[in-house]
């Protein structure tokens, strides 16, 4: 490199230093030297998190949530009634569905437990019917819990019998809710009594009553429908707004 080139680079460096000094003197601390912004890296692929799918199978016997409790004066004692419905989702006909109720006071202390069965001994697959567990009212009773304890599978033909309510109403003269209906069946599918359970509901579709009766079939050569009737009495009778029946054939020896 010749002397002329060296002098030219030296003069350029001197001018740069002079400009920096001038700027610093003029603007003081306002001069900022910023580093170039670094570009943010962008992911080249999407990230997914896969959660396992968990499904709980339906319970074979489903206790419906429209159950209620009520207290009635019977003879010389108060009786607690727990009424509700159970649905059979087992895929088979079942019998002897055993329920248990735990009774508690307001602090959650266990007072007693009671057990009982559905109104109908047999419950066909897919059907729903009612129960009424009754016991002497324990002192301090405030709340209860219900559960299905056990059931038995029935091997054999379908036991459901078609039932129809022909009329239902509250009779103010007698103070009961009356239900009349008929039960029908195919020839050869009846081998014993036909039991009929009636579930009584209030306007919120809560169960407030459960009764059992039997269909009376005429003794004729040609099968005719059997008739049944219910007369639901008690403090809840005026609250009933609808009823539903389920009829089943109870074969001889299975009562």
Could you list the beta-strand ranges (E) of the chain. Answer: 61-63, 68-74, 77-88, 94-104, 110-117, 122-123, 128-136, 143-153, 160-171, 176-184, 192-201, 207-214, 226-232, 242-251
More confident site: 1 or 47: 1
How far apart are alpha carbons 34 and 203 in whole angstroms? 76
In this structure, whether the domain defined by 61-153 belongs to CATH 2.60.40.10 is answered with yes
Q: Considering the domain 160-251 in this protein, what is its CATH number?
A: 2.60.40
* pLDDT confidence of residue 173: 95
Taking CA 24 as the corner, what is the angle to CA 20 and CA 30, rounded to the nearest 5 degrees?
A: 125
pLDDT digits (tens, 9 = 90+) for 182-224: 998 765 555 567 899 999 999 999 999 999 999 988 777 777 8
Encoded tokens for 36: 């170039």
Burial class of residue 21 in the structure, from the number of CB atoms within 10 Å of its CB (0-12 exposed, 13-18 middle, 19+ buried): exposed
For 27, phi then psi, to 5°, come to: -110, -5
Spatial CB neighbours of 130, under 8 Å, sequence gap ≥ 6: 83, 84, 85, 86, 118, 119, 197, 198, 199, 207, 210
Report whether pLDDT(33) > 50. Answer: no
* 11/18 Cα distance (integer angstroms): 11
| CA dihedral angle for residue 27, residue 30, residue 35, residue 41, rounded to 10 degrees | -140
Asked if 61-153 and 160-251 have one fold, the answer is yes
Residue 79 has pLDDT above 90, yes or no: yes
pTM of this prediction? 0.74
Do residues 178 and 229 make contact, with C-beta atoms less than 8 angstroms apart?
Answer: yes
Q: What is the pLDDT of residues 155-189, one digit of tens each?
A: 766 566 889 999 999 999 999 999 999 998 765 55
What is the band of 226 on the pLDDT scale with cuts at 50, 70, 90?
A: confident
Q: Which long-range contacts (CB under 8 A, 24 or more apart) does 172-176 make?
A: 174/231, 174/233, 175/233, 175/237, 175/238, 176/231, 176/232, 176/233, 176/237
Tell me the C-alpha distance between 16 and 7, whole Å.
15
Sorted by sequence, the CB contacts under 8 Å of residue 75 that are 6+ apart come out as none
* Domain parsing of the chain, residue ranges: 61-153, 160-251
């Amino acid at each position: 490199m010749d002397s002329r080139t060296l002098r030219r680079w030296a003069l350029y460096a001197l001018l740069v230093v002079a400009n920096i000094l001038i700027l610093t003197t003029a603007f003081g601390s306002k001069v900022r030297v910023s580093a170039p912004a670094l570009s943010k890296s962008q992911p080249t692929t999407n990230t997914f998190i896969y959660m396992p799918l968990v499904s709980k199978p339906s319970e074979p016997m489903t206790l419906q949530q429209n159950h209620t409790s009520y207290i009635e004066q019977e003879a010389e004692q108060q009786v607690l009634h727990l009424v509700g419905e159970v649905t059979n989702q087992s895929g088979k006909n079942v019998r002897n569905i055993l329920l248990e109720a735990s009774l508690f006071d307001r602090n959650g202390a266990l007072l007693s437990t009671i057990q009982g069965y559905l109104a109908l001994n047999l419950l066909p697959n897919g059907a729903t019917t009612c129960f009424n567990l009754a016991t002497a009212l324990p002192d301090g009773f405030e709340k209860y819990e219900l559960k299905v304890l056990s059931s038995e599978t029935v091997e054999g033909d379908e036991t459901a019998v078609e039932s129809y309510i022909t009329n239902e109403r509250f009779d103010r003269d007698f103070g009961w809710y009356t239900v009349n209906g008929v039960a029908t069946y195919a020839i050869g599918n009846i081998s014993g009594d036909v039991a009929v359970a009636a579930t009584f509901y209030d306007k919120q579709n809560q169960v407030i009553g459960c009764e059992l009766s039997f269909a009376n079939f005429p003794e004729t050569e040609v099968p005719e429908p059997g008739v049944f009737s219910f007369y639901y009495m008690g403090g809840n009778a005026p609250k009933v707004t609808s009823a539903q029946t389920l009829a089943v054939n109870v074969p001889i020896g299975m009562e």
